[in-house]
Amino acid sequence: MTTLSQNEESAVRAFLDEQRSGFLTELGEWLRIASVSAEPERAGEVRKSAEWLASRLASIGFPTAEVWETGTAAEPGAPAVFAEWPASDPEAPTVLVYGHHDVQPAAVEDGWFTDPFEPTEREGRLYARGAADDKGQVFFHTLGLRAHLAATGRTAPAVHLKLLVEGEEESGSPHFADLLRARAARLECDAVIVSDTGMWGRETPTVCTGMRGLLDLQIDLAGPDQDIHSGSFGGAVPNPATEAARLAAALHDDERRVTLPGFYDNVVELTAEERRLFAELPFDEDAWLRTAHSHATLGEHGYSTLERVWARPTAEVNGIGGGYQGPGGKTIVPSAARLKLSFRLVEGQDAAQVEDALRTWVAERLPAGIRHEITSGGSTRPCLTPLDHPALRSLVRAMGRAFETSVGLTREGGSGPAADLRDVLGAPVLFLGISVPSDGWHAPNEKVELDLLLKGAETAAYLWSELAEWRPSDGV
């Protein structure tokens, strides 16, 4: 480590210690705004949240801080916040930080031990809805930026810095892709930092390198025009409940691989290096099973549990139903049945192609006399950052400096708008999150570990100097 970096780290940590109290007071103000995008009656709070953030960003020095409307006049969406602070060096890379300011619904009767919109500090943790997901992780960037400026003596960031903080992520980001396309010129960047993820654990800092995509579908099956007597007609006419069960059973082979033709054709396979890095993580499968409330693991043959949930595509039967469900028996052939399916997709897969394959596969398997309809609940695309990308290496170095230890690499099994950011803006997506699994996203008593929140700010403080050394024209 050079003397220059040692001096910067000392200055950053001194600044963070000095500003800790004020930072938490301001974060508490924002957390008190109940910006629940899923509840129409909270629309005013979501707008208040956006306006609060824009005002705060302007007060710390962003020359541009704007509230952006989303949707249309006929179908308005929740407001997003955009801010921009150019670097002094016109050749510096441009970095966009993404997060969201809306939160999940919460009420004391859900099981909170405090008012979810009255932040409570207890034993080094801050409890409130949005403390980790995602206001806390957005707001640490404001402290990190100020620490970066104070420690380096700069009057502007070392990179051209932009922020985009949406207000509808917890409602599925219905207007986000359109917003990106409409504002692409203003959002142009060389890299995107997503701070809406977590890391392995407080003793094992990690950087996420990818998220899976999602395809949600429902198959409705219809047979007889009404429920009919199973003694008079059973065994002689097609039964939609039986056909639903046959489809569900045929979706995987004996090695738990998805049987849709072409499903794996374009999958980007795990590299040997990724498999090694995943295997080095301190994974306790028994503990993981307890969090899953399951009694055993099961999945695609030849892959570990972490590989299955992070890097392999899946098909899940989310629900199956039809016919009589009441007490006792009712001897019928039901008139209708349904399957609810979700597919988690990985880099290289396309949701539209998977849906087309499913439609063909279902049509080929159903007997005459069974009508069917397949409806889509929407999709998101997978996103993956190459391990050798120089911007990723910059992020890993910055986090390593903050945590003073080596930093591992992970993926996440869930889905989000990262692929929209990558595809519309044409920039690699990097994930900087400090939340840990015990933070309880979407659950009662959501919290954030305060020391980790400050480590996030410290990582951000170093990141801009690290990324300033990168020139996108140099390639990967």
pLDDT at 6: 79
Q: Is the pLDDT of residue 474 over 80?
A: no
Q: Which helix (H) or strand (E) holds 344?
A: strand 336-345
pLDDT in tens, 27-43: 999 999 999 999 999 99
**Residue 202, SS3 per DSSP:** coil
Q: Is the pLDDT of residue 80 over 70?
A: yes
Nearest to 250 by CA among 242, 262, 311, 296: 242
Mean of all residue pLDDT scores within the chain: 96
Determine the Cα–Cα distance for residues 103 and 91; give it in Å rounded to an integer: 37
Q: Is the pLDDT of residue 476 over 70?
A: no
Tell me the average pLDDT across 456-476.
88
Q: Is the pLDDT of residue 178 over 70?
A: yes
Task: Kindly report whether the peptide bond that precedes residue 451 is cis, defined as omega within 30 degrees of 0.
Answer: no
Tell me the average pLDDT across 254-275.
97
- The radius of gyration of the chain from alpha carbons, rounded to an integer in Å, stands at 25
pLDDT in tens, 245-261: 999 999 999 999 999 99
Going from the N-terminus, what domains does the chain have, and what CATH number goes with each?
A: 3-211+382-474 (3.40.630.10), 215-267+313-380 (3.30.70.360)
Letter for the amino acid at 17?
D
pLDDT class for 475, splitting at 50, 70, 90? low
pLDDT at 93: 97
Q: Are 137 and 435 in contact (CB under 8 A)?
A: yes
pLDDT at 378: 85
pLDDT at 94: 98
Nearest to 465 by CA among 4, 142, 18: 4
pLDDT at 261: 97
- pTM, entire model: 0.91
Determine the straight-line distance between the first and last CA of the chain, rounded to whole angstroms: 24
| 374: phi then psi, degrees, rounded to nearest 5 | -115, 125
Determine the Cα–Cα distance for residues 331 and 322; give it in Å rounded to an integer: 13
Tell me the average pLDDT across 167-172.
93
Determine the Cα–Cα distance for residues 266 and 287; give it in Å rounded to an integer: 34
Q: Are 194 and 98 in contact (CB under 8 A)?
A: yes
CA 339 to chain centre: 26
Pairing of strands 191-194, 429-431: parallel
pLDDT at 348: 95
Q: Is the pLDDT of residue 145 over 60?
A: yes
- Token pair for residue 175? 């207007």
pLDDT in tens, 400-426: 999 999 999 999 988 888 999 999 999
Tell me the average pLDDT across 334-353.
97
pLDDT in tens, 372-392: 999 999 888 999 999 999 999
| 445: phi then psi, degrees, rounded to nearest 5 | 65, 35
pLDDT at 3: 53
- Token pair for residue 453? 């929140």
Strands (DSSP E) contained in 363-445 are 371-380, 383-384, 408-412, 429-431
Q: Is the pLDDT of residue 1 over 60?
A: no
b or e along 302-341 (b: 16 or more beta carbons within 10 Å of the residue's beta carbon)?
ebbbbbbbbbbbbbebeebebbeeeeeeeebbbbbbbbbb
pLDDT in tens, 90-134: 999 999 999 999 999 999 999 999 999 999 999 999 999 999 999
Determine the Cα–Cα distance for residues 137 and 113; give it in Å rounded to an integer: 23
b or e along 37-75 (b: 16 or more beta carbons within 10 Å of the residue's beta carbon)?
beeeebbebbbbbbebbbebbeeebbeebbebebeeeee
Q: Are 349 and 382 in contact (CB under 8 A)?
A: yes
Tell me the average pLDDT across 329-336.
97
